[in-house]
A and B are shown apart, each in its own frame.
Chain A
Amino acid sequence: MDTTLPPASQPSDVLMEPPSDLMNDPLIEPFSSLTENKPTSKIVSEPSDDFVDLTNNLADSPEDAAESVLADVAIDTTEIPLDEPSDDFVDIFGGETEAPREEVVIANVTVKAAAAADKSEVTSDVTDPPGDLKTGSDFEQEANETATDSIIDLSDDLLSSNAQKPPLASDQFVDPLVDFLSDAPPAADAKIPSRATVDLFEDEGNDLFTEPRQTKSAKQQQKSLFGEADEDLFGEPLGATTKKPVIKEPKGKPVPTKAARDVSNMGGPLQDGYTAEPADIFSEEAVTTVPSIKKTSAVNSKTNGVHSEEDTDIFAEATVELSLDSPQEERKKGVPAVPSASAPSVSAATSLAKPQSASLEELDDDEEEEEEEEEEQEDKFDISISVKDPEKIGDGMNAYMAYKVTTQTPLPMFRNKTFTVRRRFSDFLGLYEKLSEKHGPNGFIVPPPPEKSILGMTKVKVGKEDSSSADFVERRRAALERYLQRIVHHPSLLQDPDVREFLEREELPRAVGTQALSGAGFLKMINKATDAVSKMTIKMNESDVWFEEKLQEVESADQQFRKLHVLVESLVVHRKELSLNTASFAKSTAMLGSAEDNTALSRALSQLAEVEDKMEQLHQDQATNDTFNFAELIADYIRLLGSVRGSFDHRMKAWQRWQDAQAALQKKRETEAKLLWANKPDKLQLVKEEIAEWEVKVTQYERDFDRVTATVRKEVVRFDKEKARNFKREIINYLECLLQSQQQLIKYWEAFLPEAKAIA
């Protein structure tokens, strides 16, 4: 073990160097790499270069290498303009400040690494009571000046240097790995006992972190703290290589050749050691392993394919940890990530924004995982649905919108692999009615369609071709698409013949009675259900704490989402306003430019007008982004929460029925007793039969209730999971758009700057 790790006497070197090195890598690469998917040799080799550094240190800890980089760090640190430290800091460590203490400590460690030059300060950071959240933020202040800024600077340096010597990098890459490999298996062996990672890391931690550890009070958290920290530094090689097989093995999936280059090669030997108790390790390690799971899965994205339900659980649980870990991890390595994402070439424009995108990138990590998880889901159901080409049919008030619903699936339950039908809005509502009638009482959460909007539709019907009606149509189309996707991704609902009919059948009988669902009516219905639920809760004297808590949670979430929705809509309004006002300012500026009699200033002003024109477009796009990626998501969840409440309601109803039956049974028994007392054997027989009947009913209803309860429970768990994934994906999407527009903005202003300078 010791051979893998540097002696405890010089942890600072180790700590200092690799993270700073690796940190910058993700900063250079991550954002676009995740969005695009073009492999380029440059990038692939680039991370491996970093990887060399890391593994070198882990394996042999060559001081010279470490020191030279260290020197770089130091130099860069001094060059850093400290003007806006806090922002930069937040960017990079942003996500963690609020999070539990582990992170703070991780951050400390990381900073310690990056801020190599400042050993004493670092030590003090570490010695600070880790439990105190405020220490974290205090520490931000100091740390950012040294650590984060240097990261940014470094990233540029590295970017260029890496670009210069890619082939070299990949060559180097192999050796350290070999070194590492030879040491690694023992480590893996040590892990295999069920306590696995935690123990292992604790040991490692002891070796490595002896000093800092001792300075800390021996709190219970330490284990996890250092488990985390170690993982950050060492988990990468270990994790990325050894843990991947762990995931693979249980699934029986072949190690993909794509990843072989850097990961599976190393994974090979370790894999043997690991497979011994894959399941145990997997579950035990769930939390700590995640980063590597994520990484590996990123590497192998497609191949991870189908996971069992249990795996998904683990994933879901792990997500939190993951998101916390990822920034450091990313920074440190980005190695497996890069080949996996097959990064795009880092364009000058994107690289500019990269250094700052760390916090987003940490979310991106989540996303990566989410995407993979999603694939998993899609593999499970193997069906994709699109709603397209909204088309107005008919004229006047009888007009309606029809949509093309295209299904693509290899599932044998469908006749074709790809088929398209035309459906009108009321058909979608009709489907919901049928489904909720059938499955609602059983406790299923049936995804609701978007509400009818008389105002919006009237505009469309009247044929007003303005942007708001186009906006309305697009909003609805997207909402319908999400609605159908939610249905077909629900394992039980997909099996429903009505769903199949909706997707497949050419002509659908006209849905009737959907009027009741229109707009306010729909909301009223939900509210009524809610009232009923809350009333019944009191009566029911809920013995199941889980349900009680969930209901409260759903209600407060509903409230918050509604509030949030209002805010986001207001943001949309203000952004549109901003866009308009920017446009008119652009015009004014252009006019001012033409009035100006100094040629250079005149030109600069008309350039400014152009910049503002583009700005207008950006604001407008951003408003669209606000709407479609954020507001609509929340609107969806307000509706979905309504359905969740509905399922609670149905559970209550089942309970009520059971209780009523019990009461009836009780009554019959009383009658029986009375009859016995009165000695009326003729009637007694009848009552006895009735009792038997009611007993059956009670048992039946109780079973029903239990079944509904179980279903609701399962459904809510599923819902929560879906929600988490959905939110992460959508919001990350949203943030990416935000980032992109910032990058555009940078481009525009950068183009303008020389014009301004040319004014003479």
Chain B
Amino acid sequence: GEPHPGPRAVNVDLQTDATLQVDISDALSERDKVKFTVHTKSTLPNFKQNEFSVVRQHEEFIWLHDSFVENEEYAGYIIPPAPPRPDFDASREKLQKLGEGEGSMTKEEFTKMKQELEAEYLAIFKKTVAMHEVFLCRVAAHPVLRKDLNFHVFLEYNQDLSVRGKNKKEKLEDFFKNVVKSADGVLVAGVKDVDDFFEHEKTFLLEYHNRVKDASAKSDRMIRSHKNAADDINRIASSLYTLGTQDSTDLCKFFLKVSELFEKTRKIESRVAADEDLKLADLLKYYLRESQAAKDLLYRRSRALVDYENANKALDKARAKNRDVLQAETSQQLCCHKFEKISESAKQELIDFKTRRVAAFRKNLVELAELELKHAKVT
């Protein structure tokens, strides 16, 4: 039964490197949290052992991500997007509804629905685990981020990192920061880049991000209605089954058989939906976040460019007035250095991003087509 071979990192194509390998070997769903067992294998001298595991929660992943974002040193890199928060609410709600509706169903229907929902829950769980793993793998494969101290602590320190979720005030601050950032982003984006490569990347990413956002939303809707249709087919199958057990004519066996066919169709349809979800919607969602991360990188670079240009102007002014020249010079050099550093790594990062993206799309689309074919042929 299980259509998918396990929560392997599916959305990014990463070069695995034996010196540092990270995976999530286990995960435990407790009421409102998920505990991930992060398993590390490494030959790097920084670690005390070659192989070890720690238990981490979603908040700790977010903490790690934010520490990357806030680190100025990493301004020139695409920070791997943080995994989305585990969301079992919808699935739990459905289970609850099922419990309420127990009386109105036959025992078979109930059991069947329950199994369905449990399978759905499991699928969401697996996806959650996979997305957290992808994040870690991306970091572990990154030439610079993999050396990050926080990352190493995250991997090795076998106690609670005692990070907490952000409180309301901090969240509000974040919100304003984001507002300022996006307003600034619009301003900065208007500035014509000196470098054609970045100018092109900027236009591309702006467009791409919007498109992928749209496609992601649409694919979600498509898959949702596909699942709905599959649910209907499922209920039709049960209904036909009941008909088959009630009918006294020779039609009953026919109904039973048709019921089975519907059941099978349902299986196929829901598998198609599940695979589209995994191979298409998740891919798009991941690149929605990754393209956002790439956009953020470009923003940081543009910001640095604007700063640099401002510093140049300030230096010119200072020279003209012959006042605070040294200070302006230092500042200008700092800005220049920062900008150049970002530009230098950003170029490679964006090229890598593209390579990764193309590879991931290829992999997923091929797999999608193959799965679609497999399911269709099962008919």
Contacts and interface: CB of A to CB of B under 8 A. Distances in A.
Contact of B1 (A86, A90, A95): A86
A563 B239 contact: yes
Given A317-B250, A598-B358, A98 B207 contact: no
Contacts of B244: 98
A84 B228 CA distance: 24
B98 interface: no
Interface in A384-424: none
A557 B222 contact: no
A97 interface: yes
B232 interface: yes
Interface stretch (A354-362, A453-461, A681-689): A354-362
Main secondary structure of the interface of A (DSSP, over half): helix
Contacts of B242: 560
A98 B257 contact: yes
A585 B221 contact: yes
Interface stretch (B38-46, B85-93, B365-373): B365-373
Contacts, number: 208
B284 to A, nearest CB: 8
Contact of B264 (A90, A575, A597, A752): A90
A683 B101 CA distance: 70
Given A568-B236, A588-B211, A759-B362, A323 B373 contact: no
A182 to B, nearest CB: 38
B11 interface: no
Contacts of A756: 362, 365-366, 368-369
A553 B235 contact: no
B369 A598 contact: no
A757 B366 contact: yes
A723 B249 contact: yes
B361 A759 contact: yes
A320 B257 contact: no
Nearest to A152: B377
B235 A567 contact: yes
B256 interface: yes
Contacts of B328: none
A760 B358 contact: yes
A86 to B, nearest CB: 7
A67 to B, nearest CB: 31
A404 B225 CA distance: 39
A70 to B, nearest CB: 26
A750 interface: yes
Contacts of B224: 581
A473 interface: no
Nearest to B272: A745
A598 B225 contact: no
Interface in B201-234: 204, 207-208, 210-212, 214-215, 217-219, 221-222, 224-226, 228-229, 232-233
A316 B232 CA distance: 31
A174 interface: no
Interface in B254-271: 254-261, 264-265, 267-268
Contact of A753 (B246, B254, B373): B373
B373 A592 contact: no
Contacts of B149: none
Contacts of A575: 229
A578 B225 contact: yes
A94 B248 contact: no
B239 A567 contact: yes
B171 interface: no
A359 B254 contact: no
A563 B368 CA distance: 35
A731 interface: yes
A577 interface: yes
A571 B379 contact: no
A647 to B, nearest CB: 17
Contact of B249 (A353, A571, A720, A759): A720
B334 interface: no
B267 to A, nearest CB: 7
B260 A97 contact: yes
Contacts of A600: 358
Interface residues of B, number: 64
A94 B253 CA distance: 12
B215 A588 contact: yes
Interface residues of A, number: 82
A574 B219 CA distance: 15
B206 to A, nearest CB: 9
Given A598-B354, A749-B372, A584 B260 contact: no
Nearest to B354: A598
Nearest to A96: B257
Nearest to B240: A564
Contacts of A362: 257
Contact of B362 (A319, A352, A571, A601): A601
Nearest to B260: A94
Contacts of A574: 225, 228-229, 232
Contacts of B208: 592, 595-597
Contact of A549 (B222, B226, B248): B248
B236 A567 contact: yes
B112 interface: no
A68 interface: no
Q: Most chain-A CB neighbours within 10 Å: which of B214, B233, B369?
A: B369
B249 A724 contact: yes
Contacts of A591: 211, 214-215
A672 interface: no
A753 B221 contact: no
Contacts of A98: 244, 253, 256-257, 259-260
Nearest to B374: A84
Given A94-B260, A575-B229, A578-B222, A357 B379 contact: yes
Contact of B239 (A316, A556, A564, A608): A564
A345 interface: no
B250 A724 contact: yes
Interface string A75-106: 00000000010111011001101110000000
A589 B216 CA distance: 9
Nearest to A731: B258
A495 B179 CA distance: 82
Contact of B225 (A320, A577, A728): A577
A91 B264 contact: yes
Given A95-B260, A597-B204, A604-B365, 13 more contacts: A320-B254, A324-B253, A359-B261, A567-B235, A574-B229, A581-B222, A584-B222, A588-B217, A595-B211, A604-B362, A605-B361, A731-B254, A759-B362
Across chains A and B, which 10 residue pairs bring their CB atoms closest together, nearest first? A571-B232, A759-B362, A756-B365, A588-B215, A585-B218, A578-B225, A320-B250, A581-B222, A95-B257, A742-B379
27 contacts: A87-B267, A91-B264, A98-B244, A99-B257, A320-B253, A363-B254, A363-B261, A549-B248, A563-B239, A578-B228, A581-B218, A581-B224, A585-B218, A585-B221, A588-B215, A588-B218, A595-B204, A595-B212, A723-B251, A739-B379, A742-B379, A746-B373, A746-B377, A756-B365, A757-B362, A759-B361, A760-B362
Interface of B: 1, 204, 207-208, 210-212, 214-215, 217-219, 221-222, 224-226, 228-229, 232-233, 235-236, 239-240, 242-244, 246-251, 253-261, 264-265, 267-268, 354, 357-358, 361-362, 365-366, 368-370, 372-374, 376-379
